[in-house]
Structure 1
Amino acid sequence: MNFNSPSSSSLEDCLEQVQARTFRFFWDGAHPESGLPFDKCFVSGDPSPDIVSVSGTGFGILAIIVATERHWISRAAALERLTTILRHLERSPRFHGAFAHFIDGATGAAMHFSEKDNGGDLVETAFLMQGLICAREYFQAATNEEEKLRACVDRLFGAVEWDWYTRGENGALYWHWSPDHDWIMNLPIRGWNEALSAYVLAAGSGTHPIGPENYHKGWARSGEMRNGASYLGTVLPLGEPYGGPLFISHYSFCALDPCGLSDRYCSDYRAQAVAHTRINHDYCMSVPGYRKAGVWGLTASDGPKGYGAFSPAYDKGVIAPTAALSSFPFLPAEAESALRAMLAYEDGKLLGRFGFADSFVPKTGWVAGTYLAIDQGPIIAMIENFRSGLLWRLFMKAPEVRRGLARLGFASTTHSIAPDALV
């Protein structure tokens, strides 16, 4: 495929090449010792800070699975890299089983995310576990290497004390705990947002499970996470006005399949993601500068003044390629249109060694000088779920996931999951 002539290439060619180019972030751009993906890499090629994002590692593991399946790398090379990653993760400090938000790429030491956030981050840990569980389900051969990988994943997952992060209460899980500052961050994980998979994994744990009441009272807020209002002509079942940044519909759904998924709060979780995406798209198409460039997608990303969580309710002119590209499963035609526009944008200005730059501002011509793990990873994962459903199938067959969904009262017609009685 010629990236300079996107209009003449098939969609399959475009998707294959964008995925493969973006995968280089996690393969060629990873830490040379640990194999862990850096939190960010620079478009210029300058060295990355020695900081690893734990959630970015989870998305990177999903990317390695996709690369193996599509033969961009060999199974042996994937296993070697994953074994190195797991070895470093096992030596990284954990806080009642949860990893820190950031860890040192060489030593695995926990790093401060903010002044008082130097301990466990349960949501980051959940996104890491998504990747690890998918890897365990993918590498199922009866070889010594793959058996060791599966055993290591089981140890890491089994060590997470999900129930401890309820603070002994019947309500929400809590996002952070610090050995120095205890629960001072005081941030309950309440829906609707990107963290649904944390509750599913917590409920499905065989060692430290939470109960349904934590989900219903904590996450769903006894139904208060419902929305039901109409925005730009689209009814939004759940969440904040206008839906918020698009990553909310991406991070958990990189692995958790929303297709055919329902519970008492939402009759169709894919419809929720479609509605969220539609509102974001239609808002962008109402802005002349975005419409003229043919681009859309507001989410959390780098911007001219730093990182921000952009949305229709907080629009600072910053478009992030991950927003539209990770939405292929929900609005494929609109995502394809954005993909082709971004490939052609200013003669390929957005595309570099690790895929698309993190973000850009059509009004001024500014382009971010960074690639972020938490933005590049969902591009690969969600495009793959659109193309083949691979990651969704892997995650939804895992016993922890099926058990967690059933315990919380979910049904999945796609994956033959029925809710437990009396949930």
Structure 2
Amino acid sequence: MPGEGDENYLTTAEVARRLQVKPATVYAYVSRGLLTSVRARGRRGSLFPTADVERLAARSVEHSGVVERIESELTLLEEDELYYRGQSARDLATTATLEQVATLLWTPGDTSAVAGEGLFAADREGVLLARRAMGVVPEGARVTDRLRVAVAVLGAADPLRFDLSAASVTAAAGRLIGTLIAALPGPTAVGTTVGGKLWPKLSDAEPRPEVLDAALILLADHGLAVSTIAARVAASARANLYAVVSAGLGALDGQYHGAAPTLAYEFLERAQRDPVQALSDQLRSGEPVPGFGHRIYQHRDPRADVLLELLGDHPIVGTIRAVAARTPTFPNSDLAIAAIMHAYDFRPDAGDALFALARMVGWTAHALEEYAAPALRFRAMGIYTGQTT
């Protein structure tokens, strides 16, 4: 039993000072298993191993609790560029398939975009089931509403969904994405890329599958976005893949996240009639200009660069330039997706669906990392502010 003055142990007061919390919070950490306490020899009170305290101090300790730092080998955002496992997403968007990029993200230690032929093959019975599930959604519902319902039903129908091994999870993810695309209303394209199969579900225009393939790759992951955090929290609780995807879809439904392409689409619709008036009206509203600027990128969004370049000299690009010339910010990926939607007459809610389907690749990759990490590591400490007796 250690005694006071033992350099390998700290008193409650010393721990509180080190962690910059109240003594009561120290004991709360003990009750949650974040710290271990021992009785001090010859005196009242507890002592705490210094090593445990230092490990806890390495985390971000705030008034709201302990925020776990998430280490990831997946995505790097640096100097206005996006990388998947060290490879430029900008390059992958025009040289790789979605199968190759998914395999890259889902396979730890794989530094090359290896082939993943057949990865997104649809399950015939699953397609029928998903279509029936989507059919119960009201006629005016968005595509993402249909996706959420179908994911839940397909999960319930998979008796092996609780197998969290990497091989089982990646197989289920590929099958899920392929099945969802095939189940969406619209013609079925055969013998083409994932973007080619998705195209007739979103537009009647002449297909340009390379545009959708690039968009799916560029939107597959973007680090610890809010929907990805939601997916990782679910995976930390050892939720199955379908539940992880459902968690991501729930967060994606927020007006500040997955709805962004739709807001940009509506702004571009106004801007096509009169770019200056649309910008003026937006500035007058006091709200940010949809599709411009970014919290992480400082000077350009590499995803937007690639997608707008694929549109070439389409008139919608001229509209974007006319607006950009009058604002100090830059087009982001939401605006680029909105431009694609206008250029090829996509249905108005297609942007949200494209975002959701692409991000399922990233959520799967983050779930795989989380399944390999200690479980239940995201519980924050709540501070009660209500009435006391």
**TM-score for both structures, normalised by structure 2:** 0.24
**TM-score for both structures, normalised by structure 1:** 0.23
Larger radius of gyration: 2
Comparing both structures, which one devotes a greater share of its residues to helix? 2
